[in-house]
Structure formats: C-alpha cells, structure tokens
Amino acid sequence: MSDDLFEICDEAFRKFVLFGAELECLYTGLQFGEGPVYFADTDVLIWSDIPGNRLMRYVAGQVSVFRSPSNHANGNTRDREGRLLTCEHSGRRVTRTEYDGSITVIADAYRGKKLNSPNDVVVKSDGSIWFTDPYYGILNDQEGVKAPREQRACNVFRVDARDGSIESVADDCEMPNGLAFSLDEQKLYVSDTGFTESSDGARHIRVYDVLDGERLTRSRVFAEVNPGCSDGFRLDSEGFIWTSAGDGVQCLSPDGALLGRIKVPAGVTNLTFGGPLRNRLFMTGPTSLWALYTNRRGALIT
C-alpha cells in the first residue's frame, strides 16, 4: 500500500482502495476547479472552473471547454432525466441544460429577493432539486460578481418537482456548501464551510433527518473535516461518504468516523465517482483535475 497516496485510519479502508493504483492528473491550468459530474451514457465528465468562467469537459482523454462564459458556474449534477443542473455564482441561479442545449432557470429568487450565489445541488428521487446558497459568489469579482446580499440567511433550498416552488429547508448553516442524501433519502448531509469567513466558523458536515420527503429536522454535526474543509462530497454504493478536504479526499463511515485519506497535492475541492463501473474517482483541485481507480462504486444517484 502506497504510504504516499493513502493513509489508513481504519482497517476497513484498506479494502476500499486499490494497491498500486496511480493518481492521474488529467488536466491542469484551472483557476479554481469545482463541481464534477459524470455522464455514463456518453462517458463524459463535466466540471467547473469558477474564476475561469467556464465549464470544462473530459471525454476520451481529451479536455475541451464545454461552455464559456458559464456565469461562474460552481456545483453541477444531473436530474432524474439525465439533464445537467448547474449552480451559477454570477447568474445567482440554478439552471437546467435541456436536451437541445437551451437553458431553463430553475431558481433565481426567494421571496422576491435574489439568491446569494448557489453553490452545490442534488436531486432527490421524487425529482425535487435541493441546493445550497452561501454568498461566496458575490463577495468579490473573482468567484463571481461582487454584489450586496439580499437574503438574510444562507439557506438550503428545495425546489418542488411538481410546481417549481422554492422553499428554505434549512437556515442554520453559516456557509452551506456541498450536499448529498443518504442512500435511503432519510438523511441529508450538508457541509458548512463558515470558517472561511470567521476564524471560529464551521468546518464540518451537518446531517438532518428528512421529514415527509420534503422537510428537514434534527440538525446536528456529523463530522469535522480538516485540514481545509468539506467543500463537496459523494456517497458510494454502501453509503460511505467520500469528501474533499485540504489534504485530498477523506472517507467517512455512515456514523461519521474517518476511515482513511487519499492524499492529493494542493487538496481537493469536490469529487464524483465515474467511469462505466462508477469506480473511478474524479477529483477537482484548485488547479487540476485528478482521477483514481478505487475498489468502490459510487452510488447510482448522488
């Protein structure tokens, strides 16, 4: 087992990784990578270069620009019909890319006021769209476009699949960031990266119980993540949580224990499982896109 690449904190993790696996750098030259999403039907990975104001595409070993300008896109996912959903910092909205390439706005305001700057997004099996809304994208002209905050809180929002209405489902995070449902959708994990704005701010993943499929209750801290923070994370097919961190990737058990680390130079901002077998971990770093084959498979929908 390569000590350079893996750190085993719990023996269970030894079986999660592949001896001799190589960390591949697929691309470098990003201003800040984020938001990887994998399309199995076309074997395409899409991800964001936020300050570069572009969405990137990796297919068949080649990298190209998928969309520019991207309105400083950040988190991406697919909905239950396979369409791309994107959080836009400077657009201050969540959009859906239709099959014909046109853009549909999913959410851009709450109670008549502009959103802060949507950060990351996930879709539940009922088609509802859940996303976080911290204000990183309106703090300066690097990550988006500097603008005043109109929302009183940094919410987690839910967009109803039937009527498109938007409701706040949580407002107790300082800077809500990545998010994912547990496999049975009875829990929602949300990372809080408030420490970037305050020295004693949050640096953890919270977990909520999902009530009636559409509300959140019992907010509590699930796991502290350091160094750095959990910017984005995904679950594997058995519910283990693979999160970005300042030293790379950390794998957490469903009860929040740290099982092991994958050390990635300069750290990881977000990740997703991909490849035809969903066993290839694609990781965005500040400047690079990385890939590593694992002995796990990503959850079918994360």
Which stretches of the chain bind Mg ion, using CB under 5 A? 119-120, 177, 231-232
Bridge partners for 141 per DSSP:
none
* First-residue to last-residue Cα distance in the chain: 29
Q: Which is nearer to Mg ion, 23 or 122 (CB)?
A: 122
Instruction: Name the minimum Å distance from CB 168 to Mg ion.
Output: 19
Shortest distance in whole angstroms from residue 89 CB to Mg ion: 10
Q: How far is the CB of 67 from Mg ion (least distance, A)?
A: 18
- Residue 151 or 270 with smaller CB distance to Mg ion: 270
Token match 């498109």: residue?
Answer: 164
Please identify, using beta-carbon distances, which residue of 21 and 202 lies nearer to Mg ion.
Answer: 202
Nearer to Mg ion, 49 or 120 (CB): 120
Please state the closest distance from residue 205 (CB atom) to Mg ion, in A. 12
Nearest distance, CB of residue 82 and Mg ion, angstroms: 22
Q: Looking at beta carbons only, is 190 or 299 nearer to Mg ion?
A: 190
- In the complex with Mg ion, the residue whose CB is nearer, 79 or 120, is 120
Q: What are phi and psi of 16, to 5 degrees?
A: -85, -20
d(CA 1, CA 17) in angstroms, rounded, equals 9
Q: Which is nearer to Mg ion, 120 or 174 (CB)?
A: 120
Report, in Å, the least distance between residue 109 CB and Mg ion: 21
From the CB of 132, what's the least distance to Mg ion, in Å?
Answer: 8
